[in-house]
Amino acid sequence: MVLLGWSWVAAQTPVPAIDAGSSVEQVLDALHASGIGLKDFSGDVSLSTTDMLGSGKTTLSGKVYYQAKGQGDARMRVIFDTREVGKKVDKESKLEYLLEDGWLIERDWKRKIQVDRQVLKPGQKIDLLKLGEGPFPLPVGQPRAEVLKSFDVKKIEAAKEDPAGTVHVQLVPKAGTQFERKFKTIDVWVDLKTDFPRRIETIDPNATEVRTTELPAVQVNQGLRDGQFELEKIGNDWTRKSEAMEQ
């Protein structure tokens, strides 16, 4: 599976406001504090994949919904309803993902295929906002010391192509960590008003693929309903597959 300008109303641990001159430590502390009290979020999302070997760029865009369910459990739904390859835009290539109760449901509306894939064992939990566990590498709600244990972190000088009103930090996995096998670098642009990531860009260990996630204008703690995580009924003309984990 591929998955934050924020209207922030949650209670959080008071930390000094960050600005363009804030240190790495201050930015990481702000990201940690911003995850405290987070119950849900929803909004626009786009995911771009760029092949550094020359095959081009593909961008999926749509909506994301996240809700904490308590006791270290959460659910997430992502609906990509537009696919852009180069300058060609396809609004018929709808892809949908629902991660809940240990199962990832993937739907390809154009091909009419649904795959139900078990990704967690019964009783196993996942923190979708924790680095390495969720669809988007977000250092949100994680103590500074925990992040620094696995990454070398530095500030990157502001550039004209940066999202407005953000500060840019780069995380480089330390040798021997699980992240070294997944990423060469993780770049995060943190919104100065909300203390949440606005853009996340990752490069794979071989530096052959860049993935960029944009999360603008997301609403937080709005009280998402069950209906926003309910999938539409599909017809008998769909192909359905189920893949359970080996016990």
Give DSSP secondary structure letters for 16-85: PPP-TT--HHHHHHHHHHHTTT--EEEEEEEEEEEETTTTEEEEEEEEEEEEEEETTEEEEEEEEEEEEE
Tokens at residue 36, please? 């405290």
Report if residue 36 sits inside a domain.
yes
Q: 224 and 65 in contact (C-beta within 8 Å)?
A: yes
Report if residue 1 sits inside a domain.
no
Backbone angles phi, psi at 137, to 5 degrees: -75, 90
Range of the domain at 193: 6-243
pLDDT digits (tens, 9 = 90+) for 60-115: 999 999 999 877 788 999 999 999 998 899 988 899 999 999 999 999 999 999 99
Report if residue 220 sits inside a domain.
yes
Q: What is the pLDDT of residue 14?
A: 60
Q: 213 and 45 in contact (C-beta within 8 Å)?
A: yes
pLDDT digits (tens, 9 = 90+) for 197-212: 999 999 999 999 999 9
Report if residue 43 sits inside a domain.
yes
Report if residue 198 sits inside a domain.
yes
Report if residue 199 sits inside a domain.
yes
Report if residue 44 sits inside a domain.
yes
SS3 178: helix
pTM: 0.86
Report if residue 95 sits inside a domain.
yes
Q: 10 and 36 in contact (C-beta within 8 Å)?
A: yes
Which CATH number belongs to the domain containing residue 124 in this structure? 2.50.20.10
Q: How many domains does the chain have?
A: 1
